[in-house]
Amino acid sequence: MENIGFDLLVRYFFAGVLGFVTVRYFIETVKGYRDVSDSPGWSSVAGVVVTSELHKSWGRKGRNIEADVEYKYMVNGKEYLGTTIKPGFEFSWDTSLPGLNSESRKVEKYPVDTEVAVYYDVDDPERCCIEHRSMGSMILANVISILILSFFLYLFFFDSENLNYSIGF
């Protein structure tokens, strides 16, 4: 057996990190399945957007842009505030091009004082959204994440070219 090379260690490191990110994404989308599958059966009520703005900040991952869209609605005489646009986990991407930023599109689509249809769970009116997400998009996202995870697992465990290596320096 020969010693493992630095390039192979880097390869395994990135396979592990990207595999972890993929698993995290998969877990978040699975958590969101409940709301995605339930929301088409929710009741609807009229609501109005009360806040619609972009928050820009710098974080450890670079520039962050987040849309803050808040709407109010009434159910059985009680007023609620909601912030969920689409149920489930949403991957938001950012670019420096204004027209391609998913967060800025949310703010443009829902300016303050816009009337919206709010879909809410009759058993828990705080569970709400203003857009439905198709189950197909969630399934496609999970299929893609499973394929990516499979690729990283292959790199990490089953790369037949490197099975004879042992870790050593």
Question: What single-letter amino acid sits at 59?
Answer: G
Residue 90: predicted pLDDT = 60
Q: Is 82:73 a contact under the CB 8 Å cutoff?
A: yes
DSSP state string for 20-39: HHHHHHHHHHHHHHHHHHHG
Cβ atoms of 66 and 54 within 8 Å: the answer is yes
Percentage of residues in the chain having pLDDT higher than 90: 25
Question: Taking the model in full, what pTM does it have?
Answer: 0.61
pLDDT at position 49: 96
pLDDT at 154: 73
pLDDT tens for 15-60 read 777 777 777 777 777 766 666 667 777 889 999 999 999 877 776 6
Q: Which residues of 13-35 are buried (b: 16+ CB within 10 A; e: fewer)?
A: eebeebbeebeebbeebeebbeb
Domain boundaries, the chain: 2-166
pLDDT of the chain along its 169 residues, tens only? 455 567 667 777 777 777 777 777 777 777 666 666 677 778 899 999 999 998 777 766 566 778 889 999 999 999 999 998 887 656 555 555 454 467 788 888 999 999 999 999 899 999 899 987 666 666 776 777 778 777 777 766 665 455 454 444 4
Q: Which residues pair with 76 in a beta bridge?
A: none
